[in-house]
Structure 1
């Protein structure tokens, strides 16, 4: 160990001598009028700076130091959960950055001019770049330059992920390989197809031409920084630790960026946060299992109740009865392509695999081998980055009629999980036709994607309405021989058409080796006119391929035009202007807007107009005339629902969103949108403020958000019904009574997962929280499995997991612990609504939209009560080290650590754990005091 540390220090000293600080200059244009007047704040942990030189990484590993501005927003973010009750107007700045335009003279940390027509000023407090261009091209050049300054390594990694080439770049760790498989399967584009998407936007009109010019200048700025940083030796140290650049000679290369990289990065972002639908094959398997249990007629009723397609008890963002029909199952669906039970198999994507795994590519310098092994042994990015939902984004927006100032108040932000560096980055852009500050995804930050303009602010949550349909394509053999599930041709317009095969070859070298490849494989995607193949199966005795058709497929950058308008003060002068801009975004988002006078909401996405008899929740037979209206397979364009058919509103009394249902009759994908949803935690608190006559302020709206972020949804919403059943008779069992007393005491204190004191790393109601965590999977299985039967119950857990507590360890599969990676998102997916409805039915309550059968105790109250008592006793007796079994970050039994948020390192710098908060990653607190006067 001593020799290793000495080696680290020696290499660090060498690297330090090679670092050249870029030259600085002075001078910037004054910012435009800021109508927020100091009442705009934001936060994005852990910090703005996501780049570290080799010297910085080694110093961090040996001495524990971190580069400036890499962690200075983490403490602010973490502290709100423990201190929100005492929040005041004077102290709110302790938990959020000042998001005003410009930088006061005394707060300037650095000023540079990477080109004569742009100035980048960074402030002392956060290091955020404030980019001012005298030309539009200069502004965009500066945006690219600043993005590379702050996120170059991350941007490089993400463009490799999107191309299915991460393992060749950063090593063959299983996490890298799984992630590139997922993204490649979703968007297997060729370079020519990426360029075609750029050309289509460029030729779409004046806005498109401007977007192309902006993107070109942005990429030019990235490449200018790459050139300077490489020659000056202040590039990210991960390039040395993965063998791309030699620490001694500086030999090696950082590949310049291309415009097509932006398409790739857009597809990565869209796949994670802006898609909706899919999963029809898993849904079909579950539906068939339910029909096998109950028969076709009752099975259909049970299935539709569990589908929660338009649950009358769910919480809506538009709560004034507005109806926006979309995506619903037709009364008499046709053309469902249901698989033969047991015949479904996932489409293989990995071929020609040779050798084992390597933690990273071969480093150029022996001294760099150990940190490279440590950093990338599990992969550069989490393997479930695409497969797991990322949905803590939330919004609370209150109109001026209910606020103390008479101006709208907003607390809102997206959730992009916790990484170091963060996938998002902060910036301010000021130039001709651009005036905004906020967050953007690294690598596509030519515009502010979520933030504020001169007199308005906006944000988004993932909407997840269904823009993906699965089609079953009958397989064939061009030779005329009988087709099998392995056949790679399909019937299209009556012709046996070969599938397109898109390949990516990956090979990697081990950390310690002689340079021969340690492993290699080929990724192979099978594409059809209906999109990439996801599964193979037998349908009505014939082999088929299931293909996923996404409306944004081959249109990954179409959203650029809407974001361009968000940043243009001449394009957005009103709530209506904002809604029209949002309508140009083809990804599925809920958009929220506020200025000094108005609030607004709009749901975006390219919603295809479906055949009236096609069921979008099930696989559909291809070629049966059930395709999208006017669908053109050559361009993947179709008719889309018009503006007015998307959920939209102006000046509703308040809006909340936590990835809940948008409006009545709007069938967003997601079975969790039932009688109990995480959105209830926000809705109840905001409605209570308004109903009580309390005037809303930035302080109490932030408090409502923060408290909801600590609340246990199960304890707040479902526990009262559990207690009603249990206490329908006297509880005489001492163990059960003791457990229930703890739960009720916790409930009386708000059912929060709150520390005993700030920084204690222990919960005030630790035992009650442990009981609830252990009880939930036990009671759900005991409540539903006997009625559904094991096959149907298991199939439904594949469609909707039953539990998503902050730690995530309590899984529906006995003996199998699947953690959620300390990513914070809790209570988005679960059987909360099913449990709630079923218990009320057993109690004899009137239930709107009841389940298709009664489950708890077979519908018998006494038997249901016995079931709940037995499972709560079992939960109370379960050892804490089984409830929280530990992982690579936490010891078994450490409850606080199991729940804790960890910024997963995407490079060489790590960060301390923080206490759980079910809260957006980037968040704004906004109240505008004035607005521009009409021209």
Structure 2
């Protein structure tokens, strides 16, 4: 589940190991059929001023795209295919009927088959199919890269411009000085600040690290940038009011500027800061542990911490069945490398603070606060708000069946990244054929130099976010370079006994009001502080000593290295079987779970530039700076989770634990006995046990899992058993148990306007979490632990739920509380104690009954119902709402927990 984030990393992945020599390009015969895909809402993403002038009068309120009426062709055509599967008769799917829900995805297109043909420069041909997907052919790799930049800009010009400015921490400069844009700039500075010189230099650094392969990539990247600039000049030849220029420029009163190397790195840093990382919450963990110590004493506090942390729970579902030990172990704050910031010590801001502008609020603490107070990631444009948290909170899934369990002996897969829902989509699709590349799929807008997720000649691949631990919180003692006494305001730090000035800079931007905006231009000045370990997040004290709290990310300053791995994915001379794919995936530095299928094998590899931590440090808690406690190298490729053709006959991932023994990153507490991946693996087990699996069978199983309330399906049995037989609650418990036994779906199968089980949905939602008018939250999950934790139950640095009502599609991902229910009530035996009712079974039952009874009484009164069976739930609270970045958006669709881009793969032949 985490929307796959799969997203795979948005291309910002970095490559850690030495690249194998690339074979001399050879001629490959036509691609092998066997892949379908869908990417809502559609491939087209631009709206011109003349088009906008017709769109708004034609639909002044909803501004919902209807192809050919108020939006370009191909703007929303795939949305209808995507939505249709959610109310299809899954038991009646056939190979033929899949074409109603997915489009064919070949690698090439002839002139006769194409809807349009463009030859924008010598050596480049861009054909488009009926869905508007560009098929780019180049005489050289550089020609193809130029074509990718050109076609991607035609489809996503304004969105690309937004992303490069956000990645450069200049959202306020480009989009206007809204509170959201200023907060987003602060957050990007705290995550991935680079000067323009540093960003541009990364391309040369990658080329130097990878020799001849790196030089080829550098040449392709420069051609890609040239293609972007050529398309911008063609669309907006000096006039933002021109007939082909995106209308948003006129609304912003901005003129598009040429692209350079730094811009590509800025987008990569943005995507990499959202996907492909894990950890960085040691500060929040330290605060939680110290709160426990104050209430329970040091020994009991550690036991409680370990229970609830679920770092390496033996009952957590895994993708690979082969053990891969990494991290974990009980928490130990007494280790010499551990640094625990004082709970109530003085503080001073770090990076993102006001450097003299006046009026800039202090930055969010972001990951330092754990998951209770996530960093703000909203940006406002001329036509609405874009919430990049929808990308971060998504995550993808994958389900693959090996050939020995299918009807025809060839593997099958249904997989894809979940990157949220936008109009136009953040991902853009292309097919690219040239020497050294023969691939089709998606990439984040502005990073489509390579195909990040998709298919090759006779294989396909995808990813989910692994969230492995590549970010640490490092604590450096502060000092005064001038020789005075250190305070939390000091800008020097102790480095192995020396007082070193921090890299202190001011990030400045001039933010102009947009068309219709009010107020004078603002000059925004943000402070940036860095040590050798990374970006300073906060300054505070440890045992009264002033310190800097620094975020150290293994991929910082290496945002582009992973492009090498993506380039290898699409090269048929490099990838020709499962083993070579795994080798290519090992070159990606960001933390993703990679999946592969061809006509013979299914395979898995979990990538990432993962540090080997020094003895004397604790992966759950902050560590001291200095060579003694620094990272000791990188986990070897052979020690990463990986598997080919598992004995179970299938592979499943939904952002769950990769392998036995693989501990969750310090910010991930949700790898317990309940994870949304169970909704997939349970169905896959049933399919593969029976054997004879067909592609429609697999599509049906994955889609059936997409409407399951995983939280309810896997916690209700334990909750209802604990409540027991209470005559006063018999109607409520029967309603909930019946819903759970039939799969706990949130589905309006007949599209009559309400969920088929809306009464049960309403009751369980309210039981799990209700918020009063004064903001007070009541929850059965809180009541479960309150008998032991007391008031600390609401201080646990983990969110209570991941609900569809967020409008993101993705739900139920990595929530620790779901597992707590089963762990405490189900008698799994992993915990040191029982928590419900303070460990007393009778008190526990009384607490849970009281919680359910109060929920029933409250709901009946609110809805004026006589019985729980009359309760209603507005399914539109769960609707997937695409975030619009332009004049025209798209309609809401019913909730489904599904990748944004989804491939259906079944190769029956190969090289």
TM-score class, shorter = 0.7 to 0.9
Residue 600 of structure 1: how far off its partner (Å):
1.0
1:437-469 CA deviation, whole Å, 9 max, x = no partner?
111111110111100000010001000110111
3-state SS, counterpart of residue 43 of structure 2 = coil
Counterpart of 1:849? 830
- Provide the rounded CA distance (Å) in 2 between the counterparts of 1:512 and 1:104: 44
Counterpart of 2:364? none
Counterpart of 2:23? none
Which aligned pairs between 1:55-204 and structure 2 lie closer than 5 A?
Answer: 55-64=50-59, 65-83=70-88, 84-103=90-109, 107-124=113-130, 126-204=131-209
- Provide the rounded CA distance (Å) in 2 between the counterparts of 1:613 and 1:551: 20
Instruction: Call closer, same or farther: CA 1:714–1:383 in 2, change over 3 Å.
Output: closer
CA contact (8 A) 1:118 1:142 kept: yes
Counterpart of 1:674? 672
Counterpart of 2:907? 928
Aligned partner of 1:300 among 276, 299, 302: 302
Which aligned pairs between 1:18-57 and structure 2 lie closer than 5 A?
Answer: 33-34=29-30, 36-37=32-33, 39-57=34-52
- Provide the rounded CA distance (Å) in 2 between the counterparts of 1:498 and 1:94: 62
3-state SS, counterpart of residue 148 of structure 1 = helix
- Provide the rounded CA distance (Å) in 1 between the counterparts of 2:862 and 2:148: 49
TM-score (norm. length: structure 2): 0.88
Counterpart of 1:623? 626
Instruction: Call closer, same or farther: CA 1:827–1:466 in 2, change over 3 Å.
Output: closer
Q: Are residue 237 (structure 1) and residue 247 (structure 2) matched?
A: yes
Instruction: Call closer, same or farther: CA 1:114–1:913 in 2, change over 3 Å.
Output: same
CA contact (8 A) 2:305 2:331 kept: no
3-state SS, counterpart of residue 436 of structure 1 = strand
Q: Are residue 649 (structure 1) and residue 643 (structure 2) matched?
A: yes
Residue 255 of structure 1: how far off its partner (Å):
0.3
- Provide the rounded CA distance (Å) in 2 between the counterparts of 1:880 and 1:77: 36
CA contact (8 A) 1:354 1:520 kept: no
Residue 874 of structure 1: how far off its partner (Å):
2.3
Q: Are residue 269 (structure 1) and residue 253 (structure 2) matched?
A: no
Aligned partner of 2:316 among 303, 307, 314: 314
3-state SS, counterpart of residue 167 of structure 1 = helix
3-state SS, counterpart of residue 664 of structure 1 = coil
Q: Does 127-136 or 620-629 show the bigger shift?
A: 620-629
1:2-33 CA deviation, whole Å, 9 max, x = no partner?
xxxxxxxxxxxxxxxxxxxxxxxxxxxxx964
Aligned partner of 1:761 among 749, 753, 768: 753
Counterpart of 2:493? 490
Aligned partner of 1:867 among 807, 830, 847: 847
Unaligned runs of 5+ in 2: 1-26, 60-69, 362-378, 770-778, 864-871
Aligned partner of 1:414 among 413, 417, 424: 417
Residue 123 of structure 1: how far off its partner (Å):
0.5
Q: Are residue 548 (structure 1) and residue 529 (structure 2) matched?
A: no
- Provide the rounded CA distance (Å) in 1 between the counterparts of 2:265 and 2:450: 15
Q: Are residue 738 (structure 1) and residue 731 (structure 2) matched?
A: yes
- Provide the rounded CA distance (Å) in 2 between the counterparts of 1:240 and 1:444: 25
Residue 713 of structure 1: how far off its partner (Å):
1.1
3-state SS, counterpart of residue 823 of structure 2 = helix
1:833-856 CA deviation, whole Å, 9 max, x = no partner?
111111123xxxxx2422x33221
3-state SS, counterpart of residue 920 of structure 1 = coil
1:343-364 CA deviation, whole Å, 9 max, x = no partner?
375636231345799xxxxxxx
- Provide the rounded CA distance (Å) in 1 between the counterparts of 2:716 and 2:157: 48
- Provide the rounded CA distance (Å) in 1 between the counterparts of 2:860 and 2:114: 50
CA contact (8 A) 1:355 1:519 kept: no
CA contact (8 A) 2:554 2:609 kept: yes
Instruction: Call closer, same or farther: CA 1:412–1:441 in 2, change over 3 Å.
Output: same
Residue 828 of structure 1: how far off its partner (Å):
3.2
- Provide the rounded CA distance (Å) in 1 between the counterparts of 2:599 and 2:523: 58
Counterpart of 1:337? 339
3-state SS, counterpart of residue 773 of structure 1 = helix
- Provide the rounded CA distance (Å) in 2 between the counterparts of 1:767 and 1:514: 46
Instruction: Call closer, same or farther: CA 1:624–1:137 in 2, change over 3 Å.
Output: closer
1:265-304 CA deviation, whole Å, 9 max, x = no partner?
1111111111111111011111111222221111111111
- Provide the rounded CA distance (Å) in 1 between the counterparts of 2:286 and 2:346: 10
Which aligned pairs between 1:628-643 and structure 2 lie closer than 5 A?
Answer: 628-629=631-632, 639-643=633-637
Aligned partner of 2:704 among 704, 707, 723: 707
1:317-353 CA deviation, whole Å, 9 max, x = no partner?
012x423334556878432111211237563623134
Which aligned pairs between 1:362-761 and structure 2 lie closer than 5 A?
Answer: 376=381, 380-382=385-387, 384=389, 389-511=392-514, 517-623=520-626, 625-629=628-632, 639-652=633-646, 653-669=649-665, 670-691=668-689, 693-727=690-724, 730-733=725-728, 736-758=729-751, 760-761=752-753
Instruction: Call closer, same or farther: CA 1:283–1:180 in 2, change over 3 Å.
Output: same
- Provide the rounded CA distance (Å) in 2 between the counterparts of 1:243 and 1:315: 52
Which aligned pairs between 1:775-786 and structure 2 lie closer than 5 A?
Answer: 775-777=767-769, 778-786=779-787
Residue 705 of structure 1: how far off its partner (Å):
1.0
Residue 626 of structure 1: how far off its partner (Å):
1.0
3-state SS, counterpart of residue 416 of structure 1 = coil
1:236-282 CA deviation, whole Å, 9 max, x = no partner?
110111111xxxxxxxx310111111111111111111111111101
CA contact (8 A) 1:392 1:919 kept: no
Q: How many residues align?
A: 830
Instruction: Call closer, same or farther: CA 1:739–1:442 in 2, change over 3 Å.
Output: same
Q: Are residue 228 (structure 1) and residue 225 (structure 2) matched?
A: no
- Provide the rounded CA distance (Å) in 1 between the counterparts of 2:721 and 2:517: 68
Residue 383 of structure 1: how far off its partner (Å):
6.1
- Provide the rounded CA distance (Å) in 2 between the counterparts of 1:149 and 1:881: 55
Unaligned runs of 5+ in 1: 1-30, 245-252, 358-373, 630-638, 808-819, 842-846, 884-892
CA contact (8 A) 1:175 1:378 kept: no
1:848-896 CA deviation, whole Å, 9 max, x = no partner?
422x33221122222222222221222233449989xxxxxxxxx9722
Instruction: Call closer, same or farther: CA 1:136–1:510 in 2, change over 3 Å.
Output: closer
Instruction: Call closer, same or farther: CA 1:540–1:354 in 2, change over 3 Å.
Output: closer
- Provide the rounded CA distance (Å) in 2 between the counterparts of 1:330 and 1:714: 28
Residue 493 of structure 1: how far off its partner (Å):
2.3
- Provide the rounded CA distance (Å) in 2 between the counterparts of 1:649 and 1:340: 44
Counterpart of 2:794? 794
**RMSD value over aligned CA atoms?**
2.4
Residue 681 of structure 1: how far off its partner (Å):
1.0
1:125-167 CA deviation, whole Å, 9 max, x = no partner?
x100000112222111111100100111111111111111111
Q: Are residue 898 (structure 1) and residue 898 (structure 2) matched?
A: no
3-state SS, counterpart of residue 737 of structure 2 = helix
3-state SS, counterpart of residue 326 of structure 2 = strand
1:189-247 CA deviation, whole Å, 9 max, x = no partner?
11121122111112231110011011011111110011111126412110111111xxx
CA contact (8 A) 2:578 2:596 kept: yes
Instruction: Call closer, same or farther: CA 1:679–1:516 in 2, change over 3 Å.
Output: closer
- Provide the rounded CA distance (Å) in 1 between the counterparts of 2:910 and 2:672: 40
Counterpart of 1:827? 813
- Provide the rounded CA distance (Å) in 1 between the counterparts of 2:183 and 2:103: 37
Instruction: Call closer, same or farther: CA 1:586–1:520 in 2, change over 3 Å.
Output: same
CA contact (8 A) 2:108 2:433 kept: no
CA contact (8 A) 2:43 2:75 kept: yes
3-state SS, counterpart of residue 789 of structure 1 = helix
Which aligned pairs between 1:346-365 and structure 2 lie closer than 5 A?
Answer: 347=350, 349-351=352-354, 352-354=356-358
Instruction: Call closer, same or farther: CA 1:327–1:208 in 2, change over 3 Å.
Output: farther
1:43-69 CA deviation, whole Å, 9 max, x = no partner?
111111111112223322221311111
Residue 821 of structure 1: how far off its partner (Å):
4.6
Residue 825 of structure 1: how far off its partner (Å):
3.2
- Provide the rounded CA distance (Å) in 1 between the counterparts of 2:360 and 2:576: 58
Residue 823 of structure 1: how far off its partner (Å):
4.5
